[in-house]
Amino acid sequence: MHLISELSAVLATSLFIFALYWMNDPKTARRGVIAGVTGMGVAVIATWIQPEILHHGWIVAAIILGFAVGVPLSRVPLTAVPQRTALSHAFGGLAAGLVGTAEFFLWINEPGGAHITPFRMSALVLEVILGFLTFTGSLMAAGKLQEVRWIPQRPVTYPGQNVVNIGVLALAAGLGVAVVLNPHAAWASQAFVAIAVLATIFGVLLIIPIGGADMPTVISILNAYAGLAAVAMGFVLDSKLLVTAGALDGSSGLILSIIMCRAMNRSFTNVLFGAFGKTQPALTSGEQKVWKQETVEGAFQLLEQARNVVIIPGYGMAVAQAQHKVRELFDALTKRGVTVKFAIHPVAGRMPGHMNVLLAEANIPYSALVEMDEINPEMPQTDVALVLGANDVVNPAARYAKATPIYGMPIIDADKAKTVLAVKRSKNPGFAGIDNELYVRDNTWMLFGDAKAVLADLVKQFGSGGIH
């Protein structure tokens, strides 16, 4: 039996590594899912057939419930994928926290306490802290993304916030050290419960000062935490399989966090403790410039006469559900021999890769999706840059306006295109609360309105053959 579980763990681990390896190309990626499912199946069966498992009914019931909730969760619209992802981080954290709690009470009630070593106790405390803080933190993030009414969207800040946050975490850690040193003390159980409660509170406190523009980074960091919680669980349960799978998840979260932070020119600590979007410095540099509005007919003529067009999508496109209209525009332009590319900023949308998925859903070939670093050198030769619901990621102020929170953030050089068409829902500033200078540039023309409606009108112009 032991041999079976060891071998199955090795097999599952190898399959998980292959699953991630195949994600390096969209052509092989679906194979990765099959490998992952197979690895999971092998590991579950090998555990289930172990002789110490007696209560099969419980397992079956929990698995059925898991399917009942999991299947609908996998069918959410793609605009809701960020909140589904946050929710699954929450479930991952919850599982780690609960298993950790269960193990703690099993061990301390064991005669002799054979399981209790300082190392395993530390892992247990770490598992519970990481698990529960990931649970509530991710729930908060999911709530913010879903725009649940009683969770404020804008960052909530108060004086001494960081002191309070760090204080709560330090208290949990301090209690953790006390429990590790005195696992058999009469108060150890109470202290342990207090650690779990403090971690739960810390998760909430950690997320309330964070605004929507930071969500791609925060989701990535929570991903890393969820992975680390699984690793800690692996240490507690002596499971190399869990340690490996958790480490894969954790390193993925880490890499994505680094990429997101770099794309916003910010550090981890700044994201977690900086309360992005709280400050709204007015960017009124002397004279107040005004934007120039363009009609749909005018925009049509600009696009029709262009040789190459770069579309820069942002979260506004997702909100307006405009990706299918984008596809129609893409087709209409391509048919006329116009080269169309999409410029994807790493933090466009609400989670890493969000824009790519939305555009892929609309059947736009992924060869037309170009990363920021690759498209920027082409921008000066671009005839029309069409900004679609993107805002901060195209704001030229990021290059020089030191007082703004977006200063230093790499942007897509939309302003360098010969002509800029910007579709914008309202005249309000973006998530970071900063006026966008791009809109008042000489070569920029604004199209105000819902992205979907504006695009539909544009496509109609193409359909009518462009009556001149």
Partner 1 sequence: MTDFGSMLFVFVLATFIGLGVIRRVSRLLYTPLMSLTNAISAIAVVGSIVVAGADHPLTIRILGAVALFASMTNIVSGFLITDRMLKMFKKQ
The b/e string for 41-79 (b: 16+ C-beta within 10 A; e otherwise) is ebbeebbeeeeeeeeeeeeeeeeeeeeeeeeeeeeeebb
Q: Is 180 in the site for partner 1 (CB under 8 A)?
A: no
Which of 168, 248, 397, 401 is close enough to bind partner 1 by CB under 8 A? 248
Q: Is 297 in the site for partner 1 (CB under 8 A)?
A: no
Min. distance of Cβ 461 from partner 1 in angstroms? 24
Across the strands, what pairs with 308? 339
- Cβ proximity to partner 1: between 224 and 302 the closer is 224
- Cβ proximity to partner 1: between 356 and 436 the closer is 356
Cβ count within 10 A of residue 249: 23
Min. distance of Cβ 134 from partner 1 in angstroms? 11
Phi then psi for 420, rounded to 5 degrees?
-115, 130
- String marking each residue 66-85 x if it binds partner 1 according to CB under 8 A: xx-xxx-xxxx-x--x--xx
Q: Is 52 in the site for partner 1 (CB under 8 A)?
A: yes
Which of 191, 204, 319, 360 is close enough to bind partner 1 by CB under 8 A? 360
- Cβ proximity to partner 1: between 21 and 400 the closer is 21
Q: Is 111 in the site for partner 1 (CB under 8 A)?
A: no
Q: Is 99 in the site for partner 1 (CB under 8 A)?
A: yes
Q: Is 255 in the site for partner 1 (CB under 8 A)?
A: yes
Q: Is 103 in the site for partner 1 (CB under 8 A)?
A: yes
Query: Which residue among 238, 249, 331, 392 is the active-site one?
Result: 392
Which of 79, 83, 92, 333 is close enough to bind partner 1 by CB under 8 A? 92
- Cβ proximity to partner 1: between 25 and 147 the closer is 25
Cβ count within 10 A of residue 29: 12
DSSP 385: E
Q: Is 241 exposed, middle or buried, given 0-12, 13-18 or 19+ CB atoms closer than 10 A? A: buried
Both tokens of residue 343? 């410029």
Min. distance of Cβ 362 from partner 1 in angstroms? 9
- Check: CB of residue 281 under 8 Å from CB of residue 354: no
- String marking each residue 11-50 x if it binds partner 1 according to CB under 8 A: -xx--xx-xxx-xxxxx-xx-xx--xx-xx--xx--xx-x
Which residue reads 């892992």 in tokens? 123
Q: Site residues for partner 1, window 227-246 (CB under 8 A)?
A: 227, 230-231, 233-235, 237-246
Please state, in angstroms and rounded to a whole number, the distance separating the CA atoms of residues 202 and 192: 15
DSSP secondary structure, 138-207, as one string: HHHHHHHHHT-TTS-SSPP--TTHHHHHHHHHHHHHHHHHHHHH-TTSTTHHHHHHHHHHHHHHHHHHHH
Both tokens of residue 134? 């990931």
Q: Is 457 assigned a catalytic role?
A: no
Q: Site residues for partner 1, window 207-226 (CB under 8 A)?
A: 219-220, 223, 226
Q: Is 188 in the site for partner 1 (CB under 8 A)?
A: no
Helix (H), strand (E) at residue 353: none
Min. distance of Cβ 187 from partner 1 in angstroms? 20
Number of residues that bind partner 1 (CB under 8 A): 111
Min. distance of Cβ 12 from partner 1 in angstroms? 7
Q: Is 105 in the site for partner 1 (CB under 8 A)?
A: yes
Q: Is 393 in the site for partner 1 (CB under 8 A)?
A: no
Map residue 252 onto helix, strand or coil: helix
| Integer CA distances (angstroms), 322 to 308, 314, 326, 327, 361, in order | 21, 11, 6, 9, 11
Residues involved in catalysis:
392
